[in-house]
C-alpha cells in the first residue's frame, strides 16, 4: 500500500504554546501556517491543525482492545518498524508517560502490530503503530 493523499485532521487544544512544544518540539513536526487561534503541523506528511478550543478538550472514552483500554478518539500514523522503535526509545528517554506502553499487539495473529499510545498536553490521544508486514494493515 502506498499513500496517495495525505489526510487533514483538525483537533482541539487548550493552549497553542503547549501544542507547539509538543508537536513541533517533542515530535519534530514542522509548523506551517498559523494564527492566534490555530496552528498547522506537518505530521509525517499529513496536515494536523491544532485549534484553540479549551472547552472541547479532555473528553475520553475507551474500548477494550487486546486486553488494553484504548482511547476511542485518537489519531496517529503508521511508521516503518525501525522508525517506530526509534521513536519509542526517544520517547522513553524523554520520560513521556504512555497510556499504553510500546508493545506488540495481536502477537502471532492477523494484524500483528507494534503500538504505543500517549497524550498531548490537551489530553488528545495519539497512537503510533508499525507492521513487520505492511500487508497486515488491513488484513482480516
Where does 8-52 sit in CATH, by number? 3.30.720.120
Query: Domain 62-136, CATH 3.90.79.10 — does that match?
Result: no
DSSP state letter for 88: H
Q: Give the C-alpha separation, 140 to 137, whole Å.
A: 9
Equal CATH topology for 8-52 and 62-136: no
Q: What is the pLDDT of residues 106-140, one digit of tens each?
A: 999 999 999 999 999 999 999 999 999 988 899 88
Specify the pTM: 0.92
Q: pLDDT above 70 covers what percent of the chain?
A: 98
Looking at residue 60, what is its pLDDT? 79
Q: In the prediction, which pLDDT does 3 show?
A: 66
Residue carrying the nine cell digits 478518539: 73
Cross-strand bridge partners of residue 119: 125
Q: What's the number of CA atoms in the CB half-sphere (13 Å) around residue 48? A: 26
Per-domain residue ranges for the chain?
Answer: 8-52, 62-136
CA angle in degrees (0–180, nearest 5) for 99-104-109: 130
Amino acid at each position: 500500500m502506498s499513500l496517495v493523499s495525505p489526510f487533514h485532521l483538525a483537533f482541539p487544544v487548550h493552549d497553542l504554546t503547549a501544542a507547539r512544544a509538543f508537536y513541533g518540539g517533542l515530535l519534530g513536526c514542522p509548523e506551517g501556517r498559523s494564527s492566534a487561534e490555530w496552528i498547522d503541523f506537518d505530521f509525517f506528511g499529513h496536515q494536523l491543525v491544532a485549534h484553540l478550543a479549551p472547552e472541547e478538550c479532555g473528553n475520553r472514552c475507551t474500548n477494550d482492545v487486546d486486553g488494553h483500554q484504548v482511547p476511542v478518539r485518537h489519531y496517529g500514523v503508521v511508521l516503518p518498524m525501525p522508525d517506530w522503535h526509534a521513536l519509542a526509545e526517544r520517547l522513553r528517554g524523554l520520560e513521556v508517560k504512555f497510556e499504553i506502553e510500546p508493545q506488540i499487539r495481536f502477537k502471532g495473529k492477523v494484524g500483528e502490530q507494534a503500538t504505543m499510545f500517549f497524550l498531548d498536553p490537551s489530553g488528545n490521544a495519539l497512537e503510533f503503530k508499525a507492521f513487520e508486514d505492511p500487508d497486515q494493515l488491513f488484513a482480516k
